[in-house]
Amino acid sequence: MSAELPRIRPPAVAGRFYPDNPRDCLAELHQYTAVAPHAPTVNFRGRGHAGIVPHAGWVCSGRVAGRVWRTLADQCDPAQPLTLFLTGSVHTVHLDAPALDTFDAWSTPLGPVAVDHELRHAIARLPDFQTIDAAHIHEHALEVQLPFIRHCFGPNARIVPCMIPPDPRAADWGRSLAQLLQHWPHSILLIASSDLTHYGPNYRFTPAGTGPAGLRWAHHVNDQRLLDLITSMKPDAIVDETESHQNACGPGAIAAVLAAAQSLGSTTPVLLEHTDSAAVLAPLGYNDDQNSVGYAGIVL
């Protein structure tokens, strides 16, 4: 009797959000994870190492994402087992609770990233956590991070993908996760994948008007409201803030990861970079003074 074949989650956005050719994918990863000049010093403490990372197409958010991944990778011992609890915005389905998957690995142009079955099984026993493959199969928020993970942490790093909706219970779900991880036998990184304010006519969100003044407001005021809550470690305020001001697409993920990291001893979030698509694309010759999406890279 033949052994059961592994279940592999195929890429949904390779070739659109990031290169599907291994050589091109690796070249961009080297570019985005190069050491950034004048990078803030990060002193990691406790077990609650975490990151908040954007998930747009790499041409827009790759540099910010790469700084987060490089900073986290520099803190990890490549000889030690590592699992990344990977959560993010829920774009493709409606969820009322966290959703795990049943895949054995997720495919990338650089090779598969394996799922940590043991940790996933333990998380699945926590209150409210459920298993819904449909929440993952077409979702890009986690997928665009996988080549970074493979590149920065090597083929032995594993993941536990989990979509967390924008629910007021998100911070409590994070604290429940932290209780489980408190004495877990190997290192865990907590990752929230989210962009910030989607501003302009394309997104039907223009409370400060259209044009450059509106984009400045989105960056300096609306994004900053959320960033202030994150850097002051207020996970319970995240979902309400984003519901009121539409300044993130993954507030459930941010709240859960922030609460979990806080419970595990993290105290000082560091903002590595904050920018937006208008600023990133302008030097490339794409000038849009009407629409933008905010991106921030944060490590804890």
Question: Rounded to an integer, what distance in angstroms lies between the CA atom of residue 150 and that of residue 289?
Answer: 36
Checking if the pLDDT of 221 tops 50, the result is yes
CB 116 within 8 A of CB 189: no
Which is more confidently placed, 61 or 81?
61
Q: How confident is the model at residue 45 (pLDDT cuts 50, 70, 90)?
A: low
Give the pLDDT mean for 231-243: 98
> Which band of pLDDT confidence, cut at 50, 70 and 90, is reported for residue 48?
low
Contact 147, 21 (CB under 8 A): no
CATH, domain 25-31+43-299, list 3.40.50.1950, 3.40.50.150, 3.40.830.10, 2.60.120.10: 3.40.830.10
Residue 46: band (very low, low, confident or very high) from pLDDT cuts 50, 70, 90: low
pLDDT (average), residues 102-129: 98
**Measured between alpha carbons, how far is 189 from 163 in angstroms, rounded to an integer?**
16
Residue 157's pLDDT band, with cuts at 50, 70 and 90, is very high
Quick check: 272 and 39 in contact, CB under 8 A? yes
**pLDDT(87) > 80:** yes
Average pLDDT over residues 269-298: 96
Q: Please say if the pLDDT value at position 186 is more than 80.
A: yes
Mean pLDDT in residue range 250-278: 96
Please, which pLDDT band fits residue 1 given cuts at 50, 70 and 90? Answer: very low
pLDDT at 75: 86
Q: Residue 268 has what pLDDT?
A: 87
pLDDT at residue 3, rounded to an integer: 61
Q: Say what the pTM is.
A: 0.95
Region 55-66: mean pLDDT is 98
Contact 122, 180 (CB under 8 A): yes
Beta strand 8-9 with 158-163: parallel, antiparallel or unpaired? unpaired
Beta bridge partners of 114: 105, 158
SS3 state of residue 87: strand
Strand partners, 84: 159, 189
- Name which of 189, 160, 193 is nearest 260 in CA terms: 189
- The C-alpha atoms of residue 166 and residue 185 are separated, in whole angstroms, by 30
pLDDT of residue 79: 80
Per-residue pLDDT tens over the stretch 91-100: 999 999 999 9
At 44, is the pLDDT very low, low, confident or very high (cuts 50, 70, 90)?
low
